[in-house]
Structure 1
Amino acid sequence: MRDAPPKPVRFGDLGLRLVSGLALAAIAFIDLWMGGLWSAVLLAGLLIIMLWELDRMVSRDLPSKRSSRLPPKLSSRLSSGRSVTYSAFPGMAVCGALAVFATYLHGVLLGAFFLALGCAVAAVLGGRRKGWLIGGLLYMGLAVCAMVPIRHLEPNGLLLIIWLIVVVVATDVGAYFVGRLFGGPRLWPAVSPGKTRSGALGGLAFAGAIGVPMGVWIGQDIATSAFLSIGASIASQCSDLLESAVKRRFGVKDASHVIPGHGGVMDRLDGLVGGVWFVAICGMFGLGSLG
Protein backbone atom coordinates (compact mmCIF):
# COMPACT_ATOMS: atom_id res chain seq x y z
CA MET A 1 0.00 0.00 0.00
CA ARG A 2 1.13 3.54 -0.66
CA ASP A 3 1.59 5.84 2.32
CA ALA A 4 -1.36 8.14 3.09
CA PRO A 5 -0.54 11.63 4.37
CA PRO A 6 -1.37 12.49 7.97
CA LYS A 7 -4.07 15.03 7.07
CA PRO A 8 -6.68 15.50 4.33
CA VAL A 9 -5.25 16.23 0.87
CA ARG A 10 -6.45 16.25 -2.72
CA PHE A 11 -6.70 13.03 -4.70
CA GLY A 12 -4.51 14.27 -7.53
CA ASP A 13 -2.92 10.89 -8.24
CA LEU A 14 -6.16 8.92 -8.13
CA GLY A 15 -6.74 8.83 -11.90
CA LEU A 16 -3.32 7.41 -12.77
CA ARG A 17 -3.49 4.92 -9.92
CA LEU A 18 -6.93 3.77 -11.02
CA VAL A 19 -6.03 3.27 -14.69
CA SER A 20 -2.80 1.38 -14.05
CA GLY A 21 -4.40 -0.60 -11.22
CA LEU A 22 -7.30 -1.74 -13.42
CA ALA A 23 -4.93 -2.75 -16.23
CA LEU A 24 -2.82 -4.83 -13.86
CA ALA A 25 -5.90 -6.37 -12.28
CA ALA A 26 -7.20 -7.44 -15.70
CA ILE A 27 -3.90 -9.10 -16.64
CA ALA A 28 -3.64 -10.87 -13.29
CA PHE A 29 -7.25 -12.06 -13.39
CA ILE A 30 -6.89 -13.56 -16.87
CA ASP A 31 -3.73 -15.44 -15.92
CA LEU A 32 -5.11 -16.69 -12.61
CA TRP A 33 -8.41 -17.68 -14.22
CA MET A 34 -6.57 -19.75 -16.83
CA GLY A 35 -4.56 -21.41 -14.05
CA GLY A 36 -1.98 -24.10 -14.67
CA LEU A 37 1.21 -23.04 -16.36
CA TRP A 38 -0.17 -19.57 -17.11
CA SER A 39 -0.53 -18.71 -13.43
CA ALA A 40 2.93 -20.16 -12.72
CA VAL A 41 4.44 -17.93 -15.43
CA LEU A 42 2.70 -14.87 -13.97
CA LEU A 43 3.85 -15.63 -10.43
CA ALA A 44 7.43 -16.41 -11.51
CA GLY A 45 7.59 -13.13 -13.43
CA LEU A 46 6.30 -11.13 -10.48
CA LEU A 47 8.81 -12.79 -8.15
CA ILE A 48 11.70 -12.01 -10.52
CA ILE A 49 10.72 -8.32 -10.64
CA MET A 50 10.41 -8.15 -6.85
CA LEU A 51 13.83 -9.76 -6.42
CA TRP A 52 15.28 -7.22 -8.85
CA GLU A 53 13.71 -4.41 -6.83
CA LEU A 54 15.04 -5.89 -3.60
CA ASP A 55 18.58 -6.22 -5.00
CA ARG A 56 18.39 -2.70 -6.41
CA MET A 57 17.17 -1.33 -3.08
CA VAL A 58 19.58 -2.99 -0.67
CA SER A 59 22.61 -2.47 -2.92
CA ARG A 60 22.42 1.25 -2.22
CA ASP A 61 25.35 2.24 -0.01
CA LEU A 62 24.33 4.79 2.56
CA PRO A 63 27.25 6.88 3.88
CA SER A 64 28.30 6.10 7.44
CA LYS A 65 28.60 8.75 10.15
CA ARG A 66 32.36 8.66 9.73
CA SER A 67 32.34 9.12 5.96
CA SER A 68 29.72 11.90 6.18
CA ARG A 69 32.33 14.07 7.93
CA LEU A 70 34.84 13.57 5.12
CA PRO A 71 35.13 15.74 2.01
CA PRO A 72 32.46 14.85 -0.61
CA LYS A 73 34.92 13.41 -3.18
CA LEU A 74 36.67 11.17 -0.64
CA SER A 75 33.35 10.07 0.89
CA SER A 76 32.09 9.15 -2.57
CA ARG A 77 35.19 7.04 -3.25
CA LEU A 78 34.82 5.23 0.07
CA SER A 79 31.15 4.52 -0.67
CA SER A 80 31.90 3.14 -4.10
CA GLY A 81 34.61 0.95 -2.61
CA ARG A 82 32.07 -0.76 -0.37
CA SER A 83 29.80 -1.79 -3.24
CA VAL A 84 29.27 -5.45 -4.04
CA THR A 85 31.40 -6.58 -6.99
CA TYR A 86 29.12 -9.38 -8.17
CA SER A 87 25.35 -9.16 -8.17
CA ALA A 88 23.41 -12.00 -6.59
CA PHE A 89 20.26 -11.08 -8.50
CA PRO A 90 20.65 -13.26 -11.64
CA GLY A 91 21.17 -16.43 -9.62
CA MET A 92 18.40 -15.53 -7.18
CA ALA A 93 16.02 -14.78 -10.05
CA VAL A 94 16.70 -18.11 -11.76
CA CYS A 95 16.29 -20.04 -8.50
CA GLY A 96 13.13 -18.12 -7.61
CA ALA A 97 11.52 -18.82 -10.98
CA LEU A 98 12.53 -22.49 -10.80
CA ALA A 99 11.01 -22.67 -7.32
CA VAL A 100 7.64 -21.49 -8.64
CA PHE A 101 7.64 -23.92 -11.58
CA ALA A 102 8.90 -26.77 -9.40
CA THR A 103 6.12 -26.12 -6.90
CA TYR A 104 3.58 -26.26 -9.72
CA LEU A 105 5.00 -29.39 -11.36
CA HIS A 106 6.33 -31.42 -8.42
CA GLY A 107 5.14 -29.89 -5.15
CA VAL A 108 6.37 -27.68 -2.36
CA LEU A 109 9.42 -29.70 -1.32
CA LEU A 110 11.21 -29.25 -4.65
CA GLY A 111 10.16 -25.60 -4.68
CA ALA A 112 11.69 -25.16 -1.23
CA PHE A 113 14.91 -26.77 -2.50
CA PHE A 114 15.31 -24.16 -5.23
CA LEU A 115 14.59 -21.36 -2.77
CA ALA A 116 17.31 -22.76 -0.51
CA LEU A 117 19.63 -22.81 -3.52
CA GLY A 118 18.79 -19.16 -4.15
CA CYS A 119 19.65 -18.37 -0.53
CA ALA A 120 23.04 -20.06 -1.04
CA VAL A 121 23.65 -17.86 -4.08
CA ALA A 122 22.76 -14.76 -2.05
CA ALA A 123 25.05 -15.89 0.78
CA VAL A 124 28.00 -16.27 -1.61
CA LEU A 125 27.45 -13.23 -3.83
CA GLY A 126 25.41 -10.91 -1.63
CA GLY A 127 28.33 -9.34 0.17
CA ARG A 128 27.40 -7.24 3.18
CA ARG A 129 23.75 -7.21 2.13
CA LYS A 130 23.37 -10.99 2.02
CA GLY A 131 21.14 -11.05 5.11
CA TRP A 132 18.66 -8.67 3.48
CA LEU A 133 18.72 -10.63 0.22
CA ILE A 134 18.21 -14.00 1.92
CA GLY A 135 15.43 -12.65 4.11
CA GLY A 136 13.67 -11.03 1.16
CA LEU A 137 13.96 -14.13 -1.00
CA LEU A 138 12.49 -16.35 1.71
CA TYR A 139 9.73 -13.90 2.66
CA MET A 140 8.56 -13.16 -0.88
CA GLY A 141 9.55 -16.47 -2.49
CA LEU A 142 7.71 -18.66 -0.01
CA ALA A 143 4.57 -16.52 -0.31
CA VAL A 144 4.62 -16.59 -4.11
CA CYS A 145 5.21 -20.34 -4.17
CA ALA A 146 2.37 -20.82 -1.66
CA MET A 147 -0.01 -19.15 -4.09
CA VAL A 148 0.47 -22.05 -6.53
CA PRO A 149 -1.14 -24.78 -4.36
CA ILE A 150 -3.72 -22.31 -3.02
CA ARG A 151 -4.77 -21.48 -6.59
CA HIS A 152 -5.19 -25.16 -7.43
CA LEU A 153 -7.17 -26.15 -4.34
CA GLU A 154 -10.36 -27.96 -5.26
CA PRO A 155 -13.02 -26.87 -5.75
CA ASN A 156 -12.58 -23.18 -4.85
CA GLY A 157 -8.90 -22.37 -5.35
CA LEU A 158 -9.51 -19.61 -7.89
CA LEU A 159 -12.27 -18.08 -5.80
CA LEU A 160 -10.07 -18.18 -2.71
CA ILE A 161 -7.26 -16.33 -4.52
CA ILE A 162 -9.73 -13.74 -5.83
CA TRP A 163 -11.20 -13.36 -2.33
CA LEU A 164 -7.74 -12.79 -0.86
CA ILE A 165 -6.87 -10.20 -3.50
CA VAL A 166 -10.19 -8.43 -2.89
CA VAL A 167 -9.53 -8.32 0.87
CA VAL A 168 -6.05 -6.86 0.34
CA VAL A 169 -7.28 -4.32 -2.22
CA ALA A 170 -10.17 -3.33 0.09
CA THR A 171 -7.64 -2.79 2.87
CA ASP A 172 -5.56 -0.61 0.56
CA VAL A 173 -8.54 1.39 -0.70
CA GLY A 174 -10.00 1.87 2.77
CA ALA A 175 -6.67 3.05 4.16
CA TYR A 176 -6.14 5.38 1.18
CA PHE A 177 -9.51 7.15 1.31
CA VAL A 178 -10.12 7.19 5.06
CA GLY A 179 -6.54 8.24 5.79
CA ARG A 180 -6.68 11.07 3.26
CA LEU A 181 -10.12 12.25 4.30
CA PHE A 182 -9.70 12.18 8.07
CA GLY A 183 -5.97 12.18 8.74
CA GLY A 184 -5.22 12.15 12.46
CA PRO A 185 -2.43 10.58 14.54
CA ARG A 186 0.23 8.67 12.66
CA LEU A 187 0.24 4.89 12.89
CA TRP A 188 4.02 4.40 13.24
CA PRO A 189 5.94 7.63 12.53
CA ALA A 190 9.40 6.08 12.82
CA VAL A 191 8.66 3.59 10.03
CA SER A 192 6.06 5.26 7.81
CA PRO A 193 5.27 8.87 8.73
CA GLY A 194 2.40 9.08 6.24
CA LYS A 195 0.25 6.22 7.50
CA THR A 196 -2.46 7.11 9.99
CA ARG A 197 -4.45 5.21 12.58
CA SER A 198 -7.66 6.30 10.90
CA GLY A 199 -6.39 4.85 7.62
CA ALA A 200 -5.50 1.54 9.28
CA LEU A 201 -8.96 1.28 10.85
CA GLY A 202 -10.57 2.30 7.58
CA GLY A 203 -8.68 -0.44 5.74
CA LEU A 204 -9.76 -2.98 8.34
CA ALA A 205 -13.40 -1.89 8.08
CA PHE A 206 -13.39 -2.04 4.27
CA ALA A 207 -11.80 -5.49 4.32
CA GLY A 208 -14.39 -6.81 6.75
CA ALA A 209 -17.32 -5.24 4.94
CA ILE A 210 -16.31 -6.78 1.60
CA GLY A 211 -14.36 -9.87 2.61
CA VAL A 212 -16.86 -11.40 5.03
CA PRO A 213 -19.86 -11.62 2.67
CA MET A 214 -17.62 -12.69 -0.20
CA GLY A 215 -16.11 -15.42 1.96
CA VAL A 216 -19.57 -16.68 2.83
CA TRP A 217 -20.46 -16.63 -0.87
CA ILE A 218 -17.52 -18.89 -1.77
CA GLY A 219 -18.45 -21.41 0.91
CA GLN A 220 -16.93 -20.31 4.24
CA ASP A 221 -19.10 -20.06 7.33
CA ILE A 222 -19.49 -16.55 8.68
CA ALA A 223 -17.14 -17.03 11.64
CA THR A 224 -14.38 -18.43 9.42
CA SER A 225 -14.89 -15.70 6.85
CA ALA A 226 -14.70 -12.97 9.51
CA PHE A 227 -11.57 -14.51 11.08
CA LEU A 228 -9.78 -14.87 7.75
CA SER A 229 -10.87 -11.47 6.39
CA ILE A 230 -9.80 -9.49 9.47
CA GLY A 231 -6.63 -11.55 9.93
CA ALA A 232 -5.59 -11.18 6.28
CA SER A 233 -6.24 -7.43 6.46
CA ILE A 234 -4.07 -7.06 9.57
CA ALA A 235 -1.34 -9.22 8.01
CA SER A 236 -1.53 -7.11 4.86
CA GLN A 237 -0.99 -3.89 6.80
CA CYS A 238 1.84 -5.41 8.84
CA SER A 239 3.56 -6.54 5.64
CA ASP A 240 3.13 -3.06 4.20
CA LEU A 241 4.79 -1.58 7.28
CA LEU A 242 7.61 -4.11 6.95
CA GLU A 243 8.33 -2.98 3.39
CA SER A 244 8.13 0.66 4.50
CA ALA A 245 10.72 -0.06 7.18
CA VAL A 246 13.08 -1.64 4.63
CA LYS A 247 12.64 1.26 2.21
CA ARG A 248 13.25 3.75 5.00
CA ARG A 249 16.39 1.85 6.04
CA PHE A 250 17.84 2.19 2.55
CA GLY A 251 16.53 5.68 1.83
CA VAL A 252 14.14 4.98 -1.05
CA LYS A 253 10.53 6.10 -1.52
CA ASP A 254 9.42 3.38 -3.96
CA ALA A 255 10.88 -0.02 -4.73
CA SER A 256 10.99 1.01 -8.41
CA HIS A 257 8.88 2.92 -10.93
CA VAL A 258 7.65 0.12 -13.18
CA ILE A 259 3.96 0.75 -12.37
CA PRO A 260 2.73 4.31 -13.10
CA GLY A 261 1.17 5.86 -10.02
CA HIS A 262 2.00 2.92 -7.78
CA GLY A 263 5.78 2.58 -7.74
CA GLY A 264 7.15 -0.94 -7.94
CA VAL A 265 5.74 -4.44 -7.86
CA MET A 266 6.85 -4.78 -4.24
CA ASP A 267 4.88 -1.64 -3.43
CA ARG A 268 1.76 -3.22 -4.96
CA LEU A 269 2.16 -6.77 -3.67
CA ASP A 270 3.57 -6.21 -0.20
CA GLY A 271 0.10 -6.45 1.32
CA LEU A 272 -0.79 -9.53 -0.73
CA VAL A 273 2.41 -11.26 0.40
CA GLY A 274 1.40 -10.72 4.02
CA GLY A 275 -2.11 -11.94 3.33
CA VAL A 276 -0.81 -15.11 1.66
CA TRP A 277 1.42 -15.83 4.66
CA PHE A 278 -1.58 -15.54 6.98
CA VAL A 279 -3.89 -17.72 4.88
CA ALA A 280 -1.18 -20.34 4.26
CA ILE A 281 -0.33 -20.61 7.95
CA CYS A 282 -4.02 -20.91 8.80
CA GLY A 283 -4.30 -23.71 6.27
CA MET A 284 -1.27 -25.54 7.70
CA PHE A 285 -2.82 -25.56 11.17
CA GLY A 286 -6.35 -26.25 10.00
CA LEU A 287 -7.62 -22.82 11.05
CA GLY A 288 -10.48 -22.12 8.70
CA SER A 289 -11.80 -23.86 5.64
CA LEU A 290 -9.52 -23.04 2.72
CA GLY A 291 -10.95 -25.43 0.21
Structure 2
Amino acid sequence: MSIKSKWDDLGERFLSAALMVGIGIAGVWAGGIVFHALVALICGVMVWELVSMLDAKRDRSPYVLGLTAGIAMLIASEVPPAFALPLVVAPSMLGLGQMERGGVTYASFAVLILLAGFGLIVLRDRYGIEWLIWVILVVVTTDIAGYFCGRIIGGKLLWPRVSPKKTWAGAVGGWVAALLVGACFMAFTRADAAILGLSLSASMASQIGDIAESAIKRRAGVKDSSTLIPGHGGLFDRFDGMLGASVFVLIAGQLVGFPPGIPGVF
Protein backbone atom coordinates (compact mmCIF):
# COMPACT_ATOMS: atom_id res chain seq x y z
CA MET A 1 0.00 0.00 0.00
CA SER A 2 1.40 3.39 -0.99
CA ILE A 3 1.82 6.25 1.46
CA LYS A 4 -0.84 8.24 -0.41
CA SER A 5 -3.45 5.49 -0.23
CA LYS A 6 -2.72 4.93 3.44
CA TRP A 7 -3.28 8.57 4.40
CA ASP A 8 -5.53 9.95 1.64
CA ASP A 9 -8.60 10.06 3.89
CA LEU A 10 -6.88 12.06 6.61
CA GLY A 11 -7.92 15.54 5.40
CA GLU A 12 -11.59 14.62 5.07
CA ARG A 13 -11.53 12.89 8.42
CA PHE A 14 -9.90 15.92 10.05
CA LEU A 15 -12.47 18.42 8.73
CA SER A 16 -15.41 16.26 9.77
CA ALA A 17 -13.83 15.62 13.14
CA ALA A 18 -13.27 19.36 13.67
CA LEU A 19 -16.97 20.04 13.06
CA MET A 20 -18.03 17.26 15.41
CA VAL A 21 -15.62 18.49 18.08
CA GLY A 22 -16.98 22.02 17.75
CA ILE A 23 -20.57 20.89 18.20
CA GLY A 24 -19.56 18.59 21.05
CA ILE A 25 -17.64 21.32 22.89
CA ALA A 26 -20.59 23.70 22.59
CA GLY A 27 -23.01 21.11 23.96
CA VAL A 28 -20.73 19.99 26.78
CA TRP A 29 -19.95 23.57 27.78
CA ALA A 30 -23.62 24.60 27.78
CA GLY A 31 -24.75 21.61 29.83
CA GLY A 32 -28.33 21.34 31.00
CA ILE A 33 -31.09 20.90 28.46
CA VAL A 34 -28.75 21.76 25.56
CA PHE A 35 -26.43 18.87 26.41
CA HIS A 36 -29.37 16.59 27.18
CA ALA A 37 -30.90 17.34 23.77
CA LEU A 38 -27.56 16.72 22.03
CA VAL A 39 -27.19 13.34 23.76
CA ALA A 40 -30.80 12.45 22.91
CA LEU A 41 -30.19 13.33 19.25
CA ILE A 42 -27.03 11.23 19.11
CA CYS A 43 -28.77 8.26 20.76
CA GLY A 44 -31.72 8.50 18.38
CA VAL A 45 -29.48 8.61 15.30
CA MET A 46 -27.40 5.68 16.58
CA VAL A 47 -30.54 3.58 17.09
CA TRP A 48 -31.70 4.53 13.57
CA GLU A 49 -28.34 3.38 12.20
CA LEU A 50 -28.47 0.19 14.24
CA VAL A 51 -31.92 -0.77 12.92
CA SER A 52 -30.93 0.18 9.37
CA MET A 53 -27.96 -2.19 9.54
CA LEU A 54 -29.81 -5.09 11.14
CA ASP A 55 -33.14 -4.89 9.33
CA ALA A 56 -32.48 -2.97 6.13
CA LYS A 57 -35.63 -4.24 4.35
CA ARG A 58 -37.93 -2.40 6.74
CA ASP A 59 -38.85 1.06 5.46
CA ARG A 60 -40.31 2.74 8.54
CA SER A 61 -38.97 0.93 11.59
CA PRO A 62 -35.49 2.58 11.59
CA TYR A 63 -37.04 6.05 11.75
CA VAL A 64 -39.76 5.10 14.21
CA LEU A 65 -37.37 3.39 16.60
CA GLY A 66 -34.74 6.11 16.24
CA LEU A 67 -37.30 8.80 17.04
CA THR A 68 -38.67 6.76 19.93
CA ALA A 69 -35.19 6.29 21.39
CA GLY A 70 -34.36 9.99 21.06
CA ILE A 71 -37.59 11.09 22.77
CA ALA A 72 -37.17 8.49 25.52
CA MET A 73 -33.60 9.67 26.17
CA LEU A 74 -34.66 13.32 26.33
CA ILE A 75 -37.44 12.59 28.81
CA ALA A 76 -35.15 10.32 30.84
CA SER A 77 -32.65 13.16 31.18
CA GLU A 78 -35.26 15.37 32.87
CA VAL A 79 -36.79 12.96 35.41
CA PRO A 80 -35.38 11.29 38.56
CA PRO A 81 -33.10 8.28 37.85
CA ALA A 82 -35.60 5.72 39.19
CA PHE A 83 -38.09 6.85 36.55
CA ALA A 84 -35.43 7.40 33.90
CA LEU A 85 -34.28 3.78 33.83
CA PRO A 86 -37.58 2.35 32.48
CA LEU A 87 -37.40 4.92 29.70
CA VAL A 88 -33.84 3.81 28.91
CA VAL A 89 -34.99 0.21 28.51
CA ALA A 90 -38.36 0.82 26.83
CA PRO A 91 -37.13 1.39 23.23
CA SER A 92 -35.45 -2.03 23.29
CA MET A 93 -38.68 -3.74 24.32
CA LEU A 94 -40.77 -1.78 21.82
CA GLY A 95 -38.34 -2.56 19.03
CA LEU A 96 -38.55 -6.30 19.39
CA GLY A 97 -41.98 -6.31 17.81
CA GLN A 98 -40.86 -4.07 14.94
CA MET A 99 -37.84 -6.12 13.84
CA GLU A 100 -38.09 -8.90 11.26
CA ARG A 101 -34.47 -9.89 11.82
CA GLY A 102 -31.76 -9.11 14.35
CA GLY A 103 -34.22 -8.45 17.16
CA VAL A 104 -32.04 -9.76 19.98
CA THR A 105 -28.99 -7.87 18.76
CA TYR A 106 -31.09 -4.74 18.42
CA ALA A 107 -32.54 -5.05 21.92
CA SER A 108 -29.09 -5.59 23.47
CA PHE A 109 -27.37 -2.71 21.70
CA ALA A 110 -30.27 -0.26 21.90
CA VAL A 111 -30.35 -0.47 25.69
CA LEU A 112 -26.57 -0.03 25.79
CA ILE A 113 -26.81 3.05 23.57
CA LEU A 114 -29.37 4.70 25.83
CA LEU A 115 -27.59 3.58 28.98
CA ALA A 116 -24.38 5.12 27.64
CA GLY A 117 -26.20 8.36 26.91
CA PHE A 118 -27.66 8.35 30.41
CA GLY A 119 -24.17 7.76 31.83
CA LEU A 120 -22.80 10.83 30.01
CA ILE A 121 -25.65 12.95 31.36
CA VAL A 122 -24.98 11.69 34.88
CA LEU A 123 -21.30 12.59 34.55
CA ARG A 124 -22.05 16.11 33.31
CA ASP A 125 -24.90 16.89 35.71
CA ARG A 126 -23.64 15.24 38.89
CA TYR A 127 -19.85 15.49 38.71
CA GLY A 128 -19.22 18.48 36.49
CA ILE A 129 -17.73 19.21 33.13
CA GLU A 130 -14.20 18.08 34.03
CA TRP A 131 -15.19 14.44 34.49
CA LEU A 132 -17.20 14.33 31.31
CA ILE A 133 -14.13 15.77 29.58
CA TRP A 134 -12.04 13.03 31.21
CA VAL A 135 -14.05 10.18 29.67
CA ILE A 136 -14.20 12.00 26.30
CA LEU A 137 -10.43 12.48 26.32
CA VAL A 138 -9.85 8.83 27.22
CA VAL A 139 -11.99 7.68 24.29
CA VAL A 140 -10.66 10.24 21.79
CA THR A 141 -6.99 9.71 22.63
CA THR A 142 -7.49 5.95 22.57
CA ASP A 143 -8.97 6.24 19.09
CA ILE A 144 -6.34 8.66 17.77
CA ALA A 145 -3.38 6.79 19.23
CA GLY A 146 -4.82 3.51 18.01
CA TYR A 147 -5.27 4.92 14.51
CA PHE A 148 -1.73 6.25 14.16
CA CYS A 149 0.02 3.39 15.96
CA GLY A 150 -1.91 0.89 13.87
CA ARG A 151 -1.08 2.67 10.62
CA ILE A 152 2.58 3.33 11.43
CA ILE A 153 3.57 0.19 13.34
CA GLY A 154 1.11 -2.32 11.92
CA GLY A 155 1.74 -5.87 13.06
CA LYS A 156 -0.59 -8.58 14.27
CA LEU A 157 -4.29 -7.97 13.92
CA LEU A 158 -6.45 -7.82 17.03
CA TRP A 159 -9.39 -9.79 15.62
CA PRO A 160 -8.94 -10.28 11.85
CA ARG A 161 -12.26 -12.05 11.27
CA VAL A 162 -14.24 -9.06 12.53
CA SER A 163 -11.95 -6.03 12.13
CA PRO A 164 -9.24 -6.39 9.46
CA LYS A 165 -7.54 -3.06 10.30
CA LYS A 166 -7.29 -3.02 14.09
CA THR A 167 -3.92 -4.20 15.39
CA TRP A 168 -2.45 -5.01 18.78
CA ALA A 169 -0.03 -2.12 18.28
CA GLY A 170 -2.99 0.22 17.93
CA ALA A 171 -4.70 -1.25 21.00
CA VAL A 172 -1.60 -0.86 23.17
CA GLY A 173 -1.03 2.65 21.83
CA GLY A 174 -4.55 3.52 22.91
CA TRP A 175 -3.93 2.16 26.41
CA VAL A 176 -0.78 4.26 26.80
CA ALA A 177 -2.63 7.37 25.65
CA ALA A 178 -5.44 6.72 28.15
CA LEU A 179 -2.92 6.29 30.97
CA LEU A 180 -1.42 9.67 30.07
CA VAL A 181 -4.86 11.23 30.29
CA GLY A 182 -5.34 9.61 33.70
CA ALA A 183 -1.95 10.86 34.86
CA CYS A 184 -2.86 14.42 33.86
CA PHE A 185 -6.11 14.27 35.80
CA MET A 186 -4.30 12.81 38.81
CA ALA A 187 -1.84 15.72 38.65
CA PHE A 188 -4.39 18.51 38.24
CA THR A 189 -7.38 17.26 40.27
CA ARG A 190 -7.82 15.65 43.67
CA ALA A 191 -8.21 12.19 42.11
CA ASP A 192 -5.85 9.53 43.44
CA ALA A 193 -3.90 6.86 41.56
CA ALA A 194 -7.05 4.82 41.00
CA ILE A 195 -7.82 7.15 38.10
CA LEU A 196 -5.03 5.41 36.20
CA GLY A 197 -6.77 2.06 36.49
CA LEU A 198 -10.12 3.56 35.57
CA SER A 199 -8.60 5.32 32.56
CA LEU A 200 -6.98 2.13 31.31
CA SER A 201 -10.17 0.12 31.86
CA ALA A 202 -12.33 2.75 30.17
CA SER A 203 -9.91 2.69 27.22
CA MET A 204 -10.29 -1.07 26.93
CA ALA A 205 -14.08 -0.77 27.23
CA SER A 206 -14.09 1.81 24.43
CA GLN A 207 -12.12 -0.57 22.21
CA ILE A 208 -14.58 -3.37 23.00
CA GLY A 209 -17.43 -1.06 21.99
CA ASP A 210 -15.60 -0.32 18.75
CA ILE A 211 -15.04 -4.00 17.99
CA ALA A 212 -18.65 -4.89 18.90
CA GLU A 213 -19.91 -2.36 16.36
CA SER A 214 -17.49 -3.78 13.80
CA ALA A 215 -19.07 -7.20 14.38
CA ILE A 216 -22.52 -5.77 13.66
CA LYS A 217 -21.27 -4.17 10.45
CA ARG A 218 -19.58 -7.40 9.38
CA ARG A 219 -22.83 -9.28 10.01
CA ALA A 220 -24.81 -6.68 8.05
CA GLY A 221 -22.25 -6.61 5.23
CA VAL A 222 -21.68 -2.84 5.40
CA LYS A 223 -18.54 -0.75 5.73
CA ASP A 224 -20.05 2.08 7.79
CA SER A 225 -23.13 2.41 9.98
CA SER A 226 -24.33 5.21 7.65
CA THR A 227 -22.93 7.95 5.43
CA LEU A 228 -23.83 10.92 7.62
CA ILE A 229 -20.26 12.05 8.37
CA PRO A 230 -17.77 12.34 5.47
CA GLY A 231 -14.65 10.33 6.17
CA HIS A 232 -16.10 8.79 9.32
CA GLY A 233 -19.29 6.98 8.32
CA GLY A 234 -22.10 7.35 10.82
CA LEU A 235 -22.51 8.46 14.41
CA PHE A 236 -22.39 4.83 15.54
CA ASP A 237 -18.95 4.59 13.94
CA ARG A 238 -17.75 7.61 15.93
CA PHE A 239 -19.51 6.96 19.23
CA ASP A 240 -19.10 3.18 19.52
CA GLY A 241 -16.08 3.67 21.76
CA MET A 242 -17.92 6.23 23.87
CA LEU A 243 -20.73 3.72 24.27
CA GLY A 244 -18.41 1.15 25.81
CA ALA A 245 -16.55 3.63 28.01
CA SER A 246 -19.66 5.42 29.30
CA VAL A 247 -21.44 2.21 30.27
CA PHE A 248 -18.27 0.96 31.94
CA VAL A 249 -17.82 4.13 34.01
CA LEU A 250 -21.48 4.12 35.02
CA ILE A 251 -21.14 0.56 36.34
CA ALA A 252 -17.57 0.77 37.67
CA GLY A 253 -18.39 3.90 39.65
CA GLN A 254 -20.74 1.83 41.76
CA LEU A 255 -17.89 -0.54 42.65
CA VAL A 256 -14.84 1.66 43.20
CA GLY A 257 -16.33 5.11 43.74
CA PHE A 258 -16.16 7.95 41.29
CA PRO A 259 -14.29 10.23 41.00
CA PRO A 260 -11.64 8.08 42.72
CA GLY A 261 -10.25 9.53 45.94
CA ILE A 262 -12.69 12.46 45.96
CA PRO A 263 -15.54 12.67 48.52
CA GLY A 264 -19.02 12.45 47.05
CA VAL A 265 -18.76 9.19 45.12
CA PHE A 266 -21.44 7.17 43.34
TM-score where L is the length of structure 2: 0.90
The 1:10/1:187 distance shift into structure 2, 3 A limit, reads same
The 1:180/1:153 distance shift into structure 2, 3 A limit, reads same
The alpha-carbon deviation at position 260 of structure 1 amounts to 1.1
Structure 1, residues 223-278: CA drift from partner, whole Å, max 9, x if none?
Answer: 12201110111111111111111110110110011111111100000001111011
Task: Give the aligned partner of residue 224 of structure 1.
Answer: 194
Unaligned runs of 5+ in 1: 61-82
- Which of 171, 174, 199 does residue 200 from structure 1 map onto? 171
- Aligned mates of 1:116, 1:107 — CA distance in 2: 15
User: Partner of 2:227: helix, strand, or coil?
Assistant: coil
The alpha-carbon deviation at position 215 of structure 1 amounts to 4.4
- Aligned mates of 1:94, 1:274 — CA distance in 2: 22
The 1:210/1:116 distance shift into structure 2, 3 A limit, reads closer
The 1:216/1:88 distance shift into structure 2, 3 A limit, reads farther
- Which of 152, 159, 162 does residue 181 from structure 1 map onto? 152
The alpha-carbon deviation at position 9 of structure 1 amounts to 6.5
Note if contact 1:9-1:180 (Cα within 8 Å) is conserved in structure 2.
Answer: no
The alpha-carbon deviation at position 219 of structure 1 amounts to 2.7
- Which of 45, 48, 67 does residue 44 from structure 2 map onto? 48
- Aligned mates of 2:4, 2:214 — CA distance in 1: 21
Question: For this pair of structures, how many residues does the alignment match?
Answer: 260
Task: Give the aligned partner of residue 277 of structure 1.
Answer: 247
- Which of 104, 119, 128 does residue 131 from structure 1 map onto? 104
- Aligned mates of 2:113, 2:216 — CA distance in 1: 14
Task: Give the aligned partner of residue 88 of structure 1.
Answer: 61
After superposition, residues 115-130 of structure 1 pair within 5 angstroms as 115-130=88-103
- Aligned mates of 1:117, 1:104 — CA distance in 2: 14
Unaligned runs of 5+ in 2: none
The alpha-carbon deviation at position 101 of structure 1 amounts to 2.4
Task: Give the aligned partner of residue 22 of structure 1.
Answer: 18
- Aligned mates of 2:195, 2:93 — CA distance in 1: 39
The more displaced of 203-212 and 46-55 is 203-212
Task: Give the aligned partner of residue 100 of structure 1.
Answer: 73
- Aligned mates of 1:210, 1:54 — CA distance in 2: 31
- Aligned mates of 1:160, 1:107 — CA distance in 2: 21
The alpha-carbon deviation at position 111 of structure 1 amounts to 2.2
Note if contact 1:87-1:125 (Cα within 8 Å) is conserved in structure 2.
Answer: no
Note if contact 1:101-1:111 (Cα within 8 Å) is conserved in structure 2.
Answer: no
Structure 1, residues 40-90: CA drift from partner, whole Å, max 9, x if none?
Answer: 110011011111111111114xxxxxxxxxxxxxxxxxxxxxx44x74334
The alpha-carbon deviation at position 202 of structure 1 amounts to 1.0
The alpha-carbon deviation at position 31 of structure 1 amounts to 0.9
Task: Give the aligned partner of residue 238 of structure 2.
Answer: 268
Task: Give the aligned partner of residue 212 of structure 1.
Answer: 183
Q: Are 2:165 and 1:169 aligned?
A: no
- Aligned mates of 1:149, 1:232 — CA distance in 2: 16
Task: Give the aligned partner of residue 222 of structure 2.
Answer: 252
- Aligned mates of 2:231, 2:186 — CA distance in 1: 30
Amino acid at match of 2:167: T
- Aligned mates of 1:9, 1:225 — CA distance in 2: 39
The 1:8/1:211 distance shift into structure 2, 3 A limit, reads farther
State the superposition RMSD in angstroms.
2.1
- Aligned mates of 1:141, 1:256 — CA distance in 2: 19
- Where relative contact order (Cα < 8 A, 6+ residues apart) is larger, the structure is 1
Note if contact 1:178-1:198 (Cα within 8 Å) is conserved in structure 2.
Answer: yes
Note if contact 1:192-1:244 (Cα within 8 Å) is conserved in structure 2.
Answer: yes
User: Partner of 1:203: helix, strand, or coil?
Assistant: helix
Structure 1, residues 17-36: CA drift from partner, whole Å, max 9, x if none?
Answer: 11111111111111111111
Amino acid at match of 2:89: A
- Aligned mates of 1:179, 1:243 — CA distance in 2: 18
Note if contact 2:142-2:178 (Cα within 8 Å) is conserved in structure 1.
Answer: yes
- Aligned mates of 2:243, 2:189 — CA distance in 1: 21
Calculate percent identity across the aligned residue pairs. Answer: 33
TM-score where L is the length of structure 1: 0.83
Note if contact 2:55-2:101 (Cα within 8 Å) is conserved in structure 1.
Answer: no
User: Partner of 1:260: helix, strand, or coil?
Assistant: coil
